[in-house]
């Protein structure tokens, strides 16, 4: 099974997303959004180069992303109506993927990814 490792920057992103969601929409909404992020992780784990994912332009070919609005949400009661975040990751090998960042779609992704991988 493919192992997913979340880098510290991505962990901080997720914590910030949960705090913001809880503050603005309440704890139930924050839990639903976290569940959607975990659903995105599972989609990536199952098939990191699936048609729902895209190559991250300006980075090596093993850098990809998945927009959360493309993640299936089978339970209508747990649905997130307008997810705006993107999971950025890199495929290290057939059995290891690193989650680099989880960013809002309006953020400067290139700068944030460079920070995550230690480049300027």
The tokens describing 108, both together, are 């400067």
Instruction: Say yes or no to pLDDT of 8 above 60.
Output: yes
Predicted structure pTM score: 0.94
Q: If you average pLDDT over residues 11-36, what whole number do you get? A: 96
Instruction: Work out the angle at residue 66's Cα, subtended by the Cα atoms of residues 43 and 28, and round it to the nearest 5 degrees.
Output: 75
Q: What is the pLDDT of residues 50-81, one digit of tens each?
A: 989 999 999 999 999 999 999 999 888 889 99
User: What per-residue confidence (pLDDT) applies to 29?
Assistant: 94
Sheet holding 85-93, edge to edge: 3-6, 96-104, 85-93, 63-67, 53-55
For each of the domains in the chain, give its residue range(s) and CATH number, in order of start: 3-116 (3.30.2310.20)
Burial bucket for residue 103 (CB in 10 Å: 0-12, 13-18, 19+): buried
Instruction: Say yes or no to pLDDT of 49 above 70.
Output: yes
User: What per-residue confidence (pLDDT) applies to 21?
Assistant: 95
Start-to-end CA distance of the chain, whole Å, equals 33
Q: What is the pLDDT of residues 74-111, one digit of tens each?
A: 888 889 999 999 999 999 999 999 999 999 999 888 88
Burial bucket for residue 52 (CB in 10 Å: 0-12, 13-18, 19+): middle
């Amino acid at each position: 099974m493919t192992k997913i490792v979340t880098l510290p920057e991505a962990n901080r992103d997720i914590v910030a997303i949960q705090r913001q969601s809880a503050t603005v929409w309440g704890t139930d909404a924050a839990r639903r959004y976290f569940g959607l992020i975990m659903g995105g992780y599972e989609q990536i784990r199952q098939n990191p180069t699936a048609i729902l994912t895209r190559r991250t332009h300006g980075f090596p070919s093993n850098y990809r992303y998945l927009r959360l609005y493309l993640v299936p949400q089978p339970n209508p009661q747990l649905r997130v109506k307008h997810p705006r975040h993107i999971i950025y990751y890199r495929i290290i090998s057939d059995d290891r993927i690193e989650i680099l960042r989880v960013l809002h779609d309006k953020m400067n992704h290139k700068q944030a990814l460079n920070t995550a991988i230690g480049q300027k």
